[in-house]
A = this chain, B = another copy of it.
Amino acid sequence: MINPFDLDEPRKLFKGHNPQCEISYKLAGCSEEEIKLVAKETGMGLIIMGENGSTISSTPFSEGWYADAITDWPGQAELYKMEKILFHEKSEFQDLWFFSETNNSLQHGKVVILDGYLQLTEKDEFAYQEMLSHLPLCSVPNPKKVLVVGGGDGGILREVSRHSSVEQIDICEIDKMVIDVYKRFFPNIAVGYEDPRVNVHICDGVKFMQSVPEGTYDAIILDAFVSMGPGAEELSDQHFLKSIARALRPGGVMSTPAASYWHKDFEEIADSISNCRKVFKGSVNYAWTTVPAYSSGIIGFMLCSTGGAAVDFKHPVNPLNPENYGVATVPPQVLQLRDAHSCIPAPYFRQEGH
């Protein structure tokens, strides 16, 4: 039995790609016979592969459900009931679409699929955005210059905005489409762009980091989605890591998503950790938070600092001021959660106490 997730190049299963992104096998750009074959072979129902490898899957008998089935978690898939597909566009870099969920207001709200991966849902994006931003920024005193690589949706900018010590927020996003789509459809996330300290650079992150003077930034937040998997190309790319370390001041900090510690192959995380240790001569830590929309319900983070002033990510020296919303319209949600229920430790605090 073929499992498409075991194949090196799943797109080879078939070439069809449906520009309208219609979740209906009749419009999938390939014959019904092909579909049925794949459905039968895979046991996963219909799978439409875009040329860029993006995956849109549904089963003819459960049309209207989106199946989040990713390579790293074979034998599993998360189904989301789709109310309506609201948008689909393909830039020269990525394929982006999103749908509203049935019981929208009660559940995940809009669900965004970027290059075939569930990027975020309106319900729980805050947990990822807050932790990826505050774990590093709360670990250094008075961060002034911050670089966000990727993060076109603006959510990280929204969180960085809560830090009053910050004077300059550069964001380097290669795909303008992402920025435009979020500004148009996700005001609560793209609100980050309204911070006057933000400078937008539409370009390649590595090239940008190499173009700035050495030691420019206090913190660099990597929000490039591909690095979320345990495959984490970036984290095994010394050239890339060195570009980050170079752009950071001594004792500067970097954060990036990493795999869930529930992933079967924890060694891949261990590899990421040791790869980071080769480049970052300060602290190198693995952290995590819960995000139901991501496989296994949690997402990991790598937190690294360059040599110089010691950084202790487990004991943040620069607590977030929950009163200061920046351009955000609500206080940090995870902290709120903690305040409301004192026995729920916020991820921020998960770094402490041991």
Contacts and interface: CB of A to CB of B under 8 A. Distances in A.
Interface of A: 3, 39-40, 43-46, 59-65, 67, 69, 73-81, 101-103, 106-108, 124, 260-262, 264, 269, 273, 285-288, 290, 292, 295-298, 303, 313-314, 337-338, 341-346, 349-354
Contacts of A343: 285-287, 303, 313-314, 351
B287 A297 contact: no
A18 B81 CA distance: 27
29 contacts: A39-B61, A43-B63, A44-B65, A46-B61, A59-B62, A61-B61, A65-B77, A74-B103, A74-B107, A75-B107, A76-B78, A76-B79, A76-B107, A77-B78, A77-B79, A78-B78, A106-B264, A262-B292, A286-B341, A288-B344, A292-B295, A292-B296, A292-B297, A292-B298, A297-B298, A303-B343, A343-B351, A349-B354, A352-B354
A288 B345 CA distance: 9
Contact of A45 (B3, B59, B350): B59
Contacts of A264: 106-107
Nearest to A46: B61
A273 B290 CA distance: 22
Given A345-B351, A345-B354, A350-B345, A67 B79 contact: yes
Contact of A352 (B43, B62, B80, B353): B353
Contacts of A103: 74-75
A297 B295 CA distance: 8
| Centre residue among A63, A79, A80, A260 by max chain B CB count within 10 A | A79
Contacts of A297: 290, 292, 296-298
Contacts of A61: 39-40, 45-46, 59-61
| Centre residue among A39, A296, A343 by max chain B CB count within 10 A | A343
Given A353-B352, A353-B353, A354-B349, A76 B67 contact: no
Contacts of A286: 341, 343-344
Given A3-B102, A39-B62, A43-B63, 10 more contacts: A43-B81, A44-B62, A59-B59, A65-B77, A67-B79, A74-B107, A296-B297, A345-B351, A345-B354, A346-B354
A353 B285 CA distance: 18
